[in-house]
């Protein structure tokens, strides 16, 4: 869709479609939105992000019919907003779309409860029913004890909660949020972001969220459309935008993003390599450690992660004549799941003698995150490819001792791998 303000908007659209730039059509009008096209899936938070003047607020006003597009069409649940009559448009807004504004837009003469219930009053819902429904939502946003307060008795964060409660009480499937948290101080803003995510998990509404803050977009969005000069320059998941920016403009945006909040364990994990099955026994674990030159390995059974064993525990077991690997497995090893943020991985990495295991919902080992890979991801430093993963676990027992132990229990010599050094012409 296009939106051009000015004397000759249709002519400006034709020139834009022919390849003219925003500046080149300025004589015909101001191009606020240029060929923007996207689909928002039910139940997702879709964030439109850009600096002032990028066109994001114009887009959201076209979504609810406040502004008609110069060209193109807006469909809400299959129904045209663009071609709807005034009566049909009012019906769409009442049934399908609610709006949360930047500056709260509360009615100062109504209590918190009646503000939250106001959308239902407009819909013709009876007083007792609408107040009951509003009380339920106020409880969810943490304002159950302030239902009888007036707006001027509330802090900014509380007023924004009332605005959110009003939108949720309306029962609309779609919430449009235009810079909804930008007027709040940083601490309250973060609390509101977290609460919105929690409410979304519980209620499953479809949300279109407008912001100029990329960290906010990355935290909230299932998908993000980045706008510049009226155009959507990239549309993708937070991870896609962070790791594969479409151009230099997006790359400059994401360079200061808190990557630990955005990237997940699944996005940086490597295939698990330093592993041994329980059935391999103590000798099998020892051989893996020697071959991989690591000080600990992950133990698996039927593809499920069991725990870890260290070289010291293995050597002690060999000297004691034990062969059952289960008897020395450390089962308290911290693990993460694919969708866990890297903030969780960092904490577990500190406690882990092996690359942090990544498991699925059934406990199967699906990946591992070496500490060096984690640090590289947080620092935006390229590391090795998944085809050549890093094996990382500090050896706590000297390699010579491992070799000697292996030779003793196998009655055969163990060849030490040749390592090419920089002085030999390789690195």
What's the rounded Cα separation, in Å, for the pair 222 and 196? Answer: 13
| pLDDT given at position 386 | 37
| pLDDT given at position 392 | 45
| pLDDT given at position 12 | 95
| pLDDT given at position 410 | 44
In this structure, what are the phi and psi dihedrals at residue 68, rounded to the nearest 5 degrees? -80, 140
Token output for 242: 């962070």
What would the 3-class secondary structure string for 195-208 be?
Answer: HHHHHHHHHCCEEE
| pLDDT given at position 187 | 85
| pLDDT given at position 55 | 93
The beta-strand segments (E) located in 6-65 are 30-33, 45-49
Q: Please report which helix (H) or strand (E) contains residue 306, including its range.
A: strand 304-310
Q: What is the pLDDT of residues 332-367, one digit of tens each?
A: 888 999 888 888 888 888 777 788 899 998 999 999
The beta-strand segments (E) located in 291-355 are 296-301, 304-310, 336-337
Q: Please report which helix (H) or strand (E) contains residue 337, including its range.
A: strand 336-337
| pLDDT given at position 424 | 33
What's the rounded Cα separation, in Å, for the pair 39 and 343? Answer: 31
| pLDDT given at position 123 | 84
| pLDDT given at position 418 | 34
| pLDDT given at position 381 | 59
Q: Please report which helix (H) or strand (E) contains residue 235, including its range.
A: strand 231-236
| DSSP 8-state assignment for residue 390 | P
For the chain, which residues score pLDDT lower than 50? 382-395, 397, 399, 402, 406, 409-427
| pLDDT given at position 353 | 76
| pLDDT given at position 391 | 41
Q: In the chain, where are the structural domains located?
A: 3-96+172-257, 266-415
| Class for the domain spanning 3-96+172-257 | alpha beta
Of the candidates 249, 247, 203, 241, the residue with the CA atom closest to the CA atom of residue 223: 241
Yes or no: domain 266-415 corresponds to CATH 3.10.580.10: yes
| Beta strand pairing call for 206-211 and 45-49 | parallel
72 in Cβ contact with 2 (< 8 Å): yes
The beta-strand segments (E) located in 128-214 are 174-178, 206-211
């Amino acid at each position: 869709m296009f939106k051009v303000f000015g004397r000759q908007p249709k002519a400006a659209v034709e020139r834009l479609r022919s390849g003219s730039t925003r500046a080149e059509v300025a004589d015909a009008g101001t191009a606020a939105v240029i060929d923007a096209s996207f689909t928002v899936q039910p139940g997702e938070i879709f964030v439109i992000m850009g600096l002032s003047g990028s066109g994001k607020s114009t887009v959201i006003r076209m979504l609810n019919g406040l502004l008609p597009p110069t060209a193109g069409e807006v469909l809400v649940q299959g129904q045209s907003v663009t071609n709807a009559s005034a009566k049909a448009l009012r019906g769409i807004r009442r049934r399908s779309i609610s709006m949360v504004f930047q500056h709260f837009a509360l009615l100062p003469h109504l209590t918190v409860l009646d503000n939250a219930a106001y959308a239902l009053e407009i819909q013709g819902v009876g007083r007792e029913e609408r107040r009951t429904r509003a009380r339920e939502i106020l409880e969810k946003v943490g304002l159950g004890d302030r239902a009888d307060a007036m707006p001027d008795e509330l802090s900014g964060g509380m007023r924004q909660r009332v605005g959110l409660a009003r939108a949720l009480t309306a029962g609309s499937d779609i919430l449009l949020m235009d810079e909804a948290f930008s007027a709040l101080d940083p601490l309250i803003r973060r609390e509101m972001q977290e609460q919105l995510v929690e409410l979304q998990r519980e209620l499953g509404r479809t949300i279109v969220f407008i912001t100029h803050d990329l960290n906010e977009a990355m935290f909230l969005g299932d998908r993000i459309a980045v706008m510049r000069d009226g155009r959507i320059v990239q549309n993708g998941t937070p991870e896609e935008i962070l790791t594969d920016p479409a151009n230099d403009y997006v790359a400059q945006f994401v360079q200061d993003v808190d990557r630990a909040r955005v990237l997940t364990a699944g996005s940086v994990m490597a295939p698990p390599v330093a592993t041994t099955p329980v059935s391999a026994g103590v000798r099998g674990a020892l051989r893996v450690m020697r071959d991989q030159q690591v000080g600990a390995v992950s133990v698996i059974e039927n593809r499920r992660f069991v725990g870890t064993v260290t070289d010291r525990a293995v050597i002690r077991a060999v000297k004691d004549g034990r062969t059952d690997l289960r008897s020395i497995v450390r089962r308290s090893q911290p693990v993460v799941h694919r969708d866990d943020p890297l903030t969780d991985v960092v904490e577990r990495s500190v406690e882990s003698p092996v690359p942090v295991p990544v498991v699925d919902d059934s406990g199967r080992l699906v990946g591992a995150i070496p500490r060096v890979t984690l640090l590289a991801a947080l620092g935006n430093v390229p590391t090795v490819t998944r085809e050549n993963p890093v094996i990382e676990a500090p050896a706590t027992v000297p390699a010579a001792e491992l070799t000697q132990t292996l030779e003793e229990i196998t009655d055969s010599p163990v060849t030490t791998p040749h390592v090419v050094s920089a002085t030999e012409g390789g690195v």
